[in-house]
Chains A and B, each alone.
Chain A
Amino acid sequence: MSALPVDCSRYREPAVYSKNDGRLMNKPADAPREHAVEIRFGQVGLVQLRLHTTDPGSILDELTGRTATAPHFFERTAACLDLSLLAKPPSVEEIRAVVEIVRRAGMLSVGLAQGGASDALAQELEMPVFSHIRAPNKPVPVVQAPPAVQAAPAPEPALPALMQHQPVRSGQRVYARNRDLIVIATVAAGAEVMADGCVHIYGPLRGRVMAGVHGDTEARVFCQAFNAELVSISGVFRVFETIPADLAGVPVQAWLAGDDLRFSKIGE
């Protein structure tokens, strides 16, 4: 878990400054140590706990459920608390309670992830702040959809939507120029459906979907069973290596809010 990504067989003593003359020199491995402490940098694996709540009971339930599948894997593992998803900034007491709960679940909280009120909290708790932790899978924020923007009062006579009745198979592309696209069949993995306007898919969506391909930022994607590989609106895209559990297979819409692609379940 906390193994350093260092190839020990080829490890060489790093260059150090000699205390006496300040010159950079290589120091043989068997030379007597002159320092009380050495500072080294390395990368360690760290469990990240993204808190959706600070309620100790639900956190403990969730953690013990997860760690039960691999108890030794999580035993005394260093954990970093990510508070960025909490609805409101937590208090110091709340975080102390979380630290205690995490310890009871077998892991050790060693710091806070940067963001939100972490800096102030970390000072109080005497914990380090970890900056820029790379999250391999950015969580998809599932939020309430704002109402679609009102249409312009005198719209140009629009083309009727392009209707696709046949399944869009792997390797096929369907493009609706200057209009919406409606697919009444499956969009298979490896297929691409695109429109200058919105894209509506009434079969399972397993391929790629692009709306507003010529820059219409108001275009949206609507689908009946979301399992997309990629969703793009006006060039802003997201790849789905894994489908977020709360979106998989359910009706979903996607839209653009500024530079951010948003997703929500339809019918909630």
Chain B
Amino acid sequence: MTEIIVVTSGKGGVGKTTTSASLACGLARRGKKVAVIDFDIGLRNLDLIMGCERRVVYDFVNVIQAECTLRQALIKDKRLDTLYVLAASQTRDKEALSSEGVRRVFDELTADGFDFIICDSPAGIEKGAHLAMYFADRAVVVVNPEVSSVRDSDRILGLLSSKTLRAEQGNGQVKEHLLLTRYSPKRVATGEMMSVGDVKEILGLDVVGVVPESVDVLAASNAGIPVILNENSDVSRAYEDAVARLLGETVPLRFVDEPKKGLFARMFGG
């Protein structure tokens, strides 16, 4: 059974692509066969984050317009055997996507025995974002703990409950998960940032992960290595927890409280 998971947010720059890449790697590392697809036609980024930008020959639009086969366009990850990337086109625009074309790609991936299809949605609520979520079984809504991101996520949650295939067929809801990124317990403590509790209360959803703000994310993006593969980073552990929760495991939330400073750290201002 193939599960289609859309990673979406409404607002740009909150960490959708970082999250897509890390969730895909995390699932693949647990032996799942995973395809991660960039729906941001014209502004492709996922290939950079995945570090496969120089291996893109054919892209998603080529497949949809039957200019190549899916097998030709899928880029096999060099680190994980069961992980494949389908890059967006940098030269076309989002009108090149079609609902039938996307469905055909998903059907083919399902027939190929993929366990998960991760759809990296573009920002906004237009065609690319709409098609990224349309066929989804589950949604990971990425939100930063600040008001505009929360407002946009609320809008996206509304669309998920009305403008998806599941909603239209009355075939059960798209299962929604909240993932907070760029979370800074220190700034929450000083009241500069909304807390996990605030965001949960406003959006009325359970949290599948809280990813702390960290310099490791930018470093990983620049290096083309999904941040979940950086074993020394809290961000990696947070994404690993999120993957576990997506697979139905119960894992306590980490990185939501400010670490207590030890005596030495306090004395030496560490």
Interface of A toward B, CB cutoff 8 Å? 166-172, 185-186, 188-191, 206
List residues of B (143-199) whose CB comes within 8 Å of A's CBs.
151-152, 154-155, 157-159, 161-162
Give 20 A-B contacts (CB < 8 Å), ordered by A residue.
Answer: A166-B161, A167-B157, A169-B154, A169-B158, A169-B161, A170-B152, A170-B155, A171-B155, A171-B158, A185-B204, A186-B202, A186-B204, A188-B158, A188-B202, A189-B154, A190-B154, A190-B155, A191-B154, A191-B158, A206-B202
7 tightest CB-CB pairs across the interface, nearest first? A169-B158, A170-B154, A172-B158, A171-B155, A170-B155, A188-B154, A169-B154
Interface range for B: 10 to 19
**Looking across the interface, which residue of chain B has its beta carbon closest to that of A185?**
B204
B155 contacts across to A, CB distance below 8 A:
169-171, 190
List residues of chain A with CB within 8 A of the CB of B202: 186, 188, 206
A143 to chain B, nearest CB (A): 31
Consensus secondary structure, chain B interface? helix
A172 touching B151 by the CB < 8 A rule?
Answer: no
Known A188-B154, A190-B154: A172·B162 in contact at CB below 8 Å: yes
Nearest to A169 among chain B residues (CB) is B158
Q: How far is the CA of A103 from the CA of B230 in the complex (A)?
A: 66
From residue B171, how far is it (CB to closest CB) to chain A in Å? Answer: 15
Which chain B residues have a beta carbon within 8 Å of chain A's beta carbons? 151-152, 154-155, 157-159, 161-162, 202, 204
- Contact partners of A186 in chain B: CB under 8 A: 202, 204
Closest to A186 in B: B204
From A188, which residue of chain B is reached at the shortest CB distance?
Answer: B154
Docked complex Cα distance between A169 and B162 (Å): 11
The smallest C-beta distance from B90 to any residue of chain A, in angstroms, reads 30
For B202, give the chain A residue with the smallest CB separation.
Answer: A188
When A169-B157, A169-B158, A169-B161 are in contact, do A189 and B204 touch as well, CB less than 8 Å? no
Task: Report A187 CB to chain B, min CB distance, Å.
Answer: 11
Contacts of A166 in B (CB 8 A): 161
| Complexed CA–CA distance, A168 and B202 (Å) | 12
A243 to chain B, nearest CB (A): 15
Cβ distance A181 to chain B, nearest Cβ, rounded Å: 17
Known pairs A170-B155, A188-B202 / 14 extra A-B pairs, C-beta < 8 Å: A166-B161, A168-B158, A169-B154, A169-B155, A170-B158, A171-B155, A185-B204, A186-B204, A188-B154, A188-B158, A189-B151, A190-B151, A190-B155, A206-B202
B94 to chain A, nearest CB (A): 20
Per the bound structure, the CA–CA distance linking A254 and B199 in Å amounts to: 28
In whole angstroms, how far apart are the Cα atoms of A194 and B58 in the complex?
49
Measured CB to CB, the closest approach of chain B to A237, in angstroms, equals 22
Measured CB to CB, the closest approach of chain A to B202, in angstroms, equals: 7
Least Cβ distance of B119 to chain A in Å? 20
Q: What is the chain A residue whose CB lies nearest that of B161?
A: A166
A186–B204 alpha-carbon span in the complex (Å): 8
B158 — which chain A residues lie within 8 A by C-beta? 168-172, 188, 191
Residues of B within 8 A of A167 (CB): 157, 204
Which B residues touch A168, using CB under 8 A? Answer: 158
Chain A residues near B161 (CB, 8 Å)? 166, 169
How many angstroms between the C-alpha atoms of A84 and B152 in the bound complex?
42
In the complex, which residue of chain A has the Cβ closest to the Cβ of B151?
Answer: A170
Report Cα–Cα, A185/B161, bound state, in Å: 14
Give Cα distance in the complex from A82 to B20, angstroms. 59
B residues within 8 A CB of A189?
Answer: 151, 154
Query: For the complex, what is the distance from the CA of A87 to the CA of B171, rounded to whole Å?
Result: 59
CA–CA, A185 and B157, complex, Å: 14
Q: How far is the CA of A167 from the CA of B160 in the complex (A)?
A: 12
Complex: A41 Cα to B157 Cα, angstroms: 55
Q: Which residues of A sit under 8 angstroms from B151, Cβ to Cβ?
A: 170, 189-190
Q: Roughly how many angstroms separate A14 CA and B152 CA in the complex, as a whole number?
A: 53
| Shortest Cβ distance from A206 into B: residue | B202
Give the CA-CA distance A169 to B139 in the complex, in Å: 16
Q: With A and B bound together, what is the CA distance between A166 and B205 in angstroms?
A: 12
CB distance from A184 to the nearest CB of B (A): 12
| CA A203 to CA B37, docked complex, whole Å | 37
**Chain A residue at smallest Cβ distance from B154:** A170
Q: Which residue from chain A places its CB closest to the CB of B160 in the assembled complex?
A: A169
B154, B159, B161, B204 interface centre (most CB from chain A within 10 Å): B154
- Measured in the bound complex, the distance between the Cα atoms of B154 and A186 in whole Å is 11
| Docked CA distance A203–B96 (Å) | 41
CA distance A70 to B37 in the complex (A): 56
CB distance from A39 to the nearest CB of B (A): 49
> Chain B contacts of A191 at CB under 8 A?
154, 158
Residue numbers in B under 8 Å from A169 (CB-CB):
154-155, 157-159, 161
Assembled-state Cα–Cα distance A191/B155 (Å): 9
B129 to chain A, nearest CB (A): 13
CB distance from B175 to the nearest CB of A (A): 14
Contacts of A188 in B (CB 8 A): 154, 158, 202
**A206–chain B nearest beta-carbon distance, Å:** 8
